[in-house]
Amino acid sequence: MRIAMGADHGGYSLKEIIKQHLVEAGHEVLDLGTHDTGSCHYPEYAEKVAYAVVDRDADLGILVCGTGIGMSIAANKVRGIRAAAVSDCFTAQATREHNDSNILCLGERTVGPGLAMRIVDTWLNASFQGGRHQVRLDMISELEQN
């Protein structure tokens, strides 16, 4: 699977740990920055990853900032993106199965590396269940059109 990744300075270290984990698991990682801990602006990286996903340059995306919240807000401004800020395995699985999330957002200040890798694995191994959940996604798509 090809996964686009991005982070701001507050998520850089965790992004690097997750990136290595993904590569070791056999995934291809498209690292869209940032590439150091210098101060930067998270919306720039959220936009890059979001467009990589909607343009199908990547199958899914992972964004990391201090809390994951800013990244999710910014990424969700791009039509077709369903970004979820997650801090546990249950919601990671639920957001794939029920919401068909295509970007996972994590917080380096809220989730340690071990838990982050478990969340990532849970999210990647879950699948959209469709059915009644598809009706809701269609409703979300209508909201995006307005």
Under 8 Å between Cβ of 34 and 12: yes
Q: What one-character DSSP code corresponds to residue 62?
A: E
Q: How many CB atoms lie within 10 A of CB 10?
A: 22
The Cα 134–Cα 141 span in angstroms is 10
The tokens describing 55, both together, are 């343009």
Under 8 Å between Cβ of 14 and 111: yes
Which residues form the catalytic set? 65, 98
The Cα 146–Cα 8 span in angstroms is 30
Strand ranges (E), the chain: 2-7, 28-31, 60-65, 83-85, 103-107
The Cα 111–Cα 115 span in angstroms is 6
